[in-house]
Homo-oligomer: A and B are copies of this chain.
Amino acid sequence: MSERSEPKSRRERPAKPALSRGWIVDTAVRIMRAEGLEKVTMRRLAQELDTGPASLYVYVANTAELHAAVLDALLGEVDLAEEGGGDDWRERLVAVLTSYTLVLFRHPQLARSALVARPSGDNYLRLVDRVLALLARGGAPVEQVAWGVDQLLQTATATAAEQSTRDQDPAAQQEWDALTRALHAEDGTRHPAIKAHMPALISGGDRLRWGFEVLINGIGSTPVPDPD
């Protein structure tokens, strides 16, 4: 009874919480999970938080910074493969990188923003530290390990950015279809090498894993250039 008589405005949105960076980012993550990153706009976010867009600028510098914060929050889901399994560093390393890639896969457009504005948050640092440690177990020189981590994470991010948008965006799917059609139509007069490599050029298979292994092998066997 007394509940029924409460003012309507108090019951609709129970105790609108005070604005804060944390609350803003949490809300942004929620919108992204439900509707995708493209809906995480300042205006939409403000609407969700029951305020005007200008209010958000007290806590967030701009849209890019907001997206970076959302990304770091998500990196908490990456499995660092710290327990279980054998002690094969290669297997563990591939597992961590695959986990990272899958997280980005699940949240499509985020991978693209990761390529541009590299995260510098806690979760990203943990990931970098872990990949460094595993790679170092292979016995490669420190310079190669240090530069290699960059390459490994970049490949993972780029792969996710490429694939993920393809799944969502029909236009990107069309572009890919156009490319495979162009490759299939190749008669070998203008592009003999494409013709010669043709079945494999398009074939599936575990390219992600192969890509990581290529890098791990290459990193271990390629000295960094003499700085002179």
Whether, in the assembled complex, A19 has its beta carbon less than 8 Å from a beta carbon of chain B, the answer is no
Residues in B whose Cβ lies below 8 Å from that of A61: 171
CA distance A115 to B200 in the complex (A): 21
Residues in B whose Cβ lies below 8 Å from that of A193: 128-130, 132-133, 136
Residues in B whose Cβ lies below 8 Å from that of A209: 225
Residues in B whose Cβ lies below 8 Å from that of A179: 118-120
How many copies of this chain are found per oligomer? 2
A202 closest partner in B (C-beta)? B146
- Report 28 cross-chain contacts, Cβ distance below 8 Å, ordered by A residue: A64-B172, A65-B171, A112-B112, A112-B115, A112-B116, A115-B158, A116-B165, A117-B171, A117-B175, A118-B162, A118-B176, A126-B191, A129-B191, A130-B193, A136-B193, A142-B200, A143-B203, A145-B197, A149-B197, A149-B201, A151-B214, A154-B155, A158-B161, A205-B224, A210-B225, A215-B215, A217-B218, A218-B218
A-B contacts besides A119-B175, A142-B197, A213-B222, 10 pairs, CB < 8 Å? A116-B161, A116-B165, A117-B172, A125-B190, A129-B192, A143-B200, A143-B203, A147-B205, A214-B218, A214-B222
- List the interface of chain A (C-beta within 8 A of B): 61-62, 64-65, 68, 112, 115-120, 125-126, 128-130, 132-133, 136, 142-143, 145-151, 154-155, 157-159, 161-162, 165-166, 169, 171-172, 175-176, 178-179, 181-182, 186, 190-194, 196-197, 200-201, 203, 205-207, 209-211, 213-219, 221-222, 224-225, 227
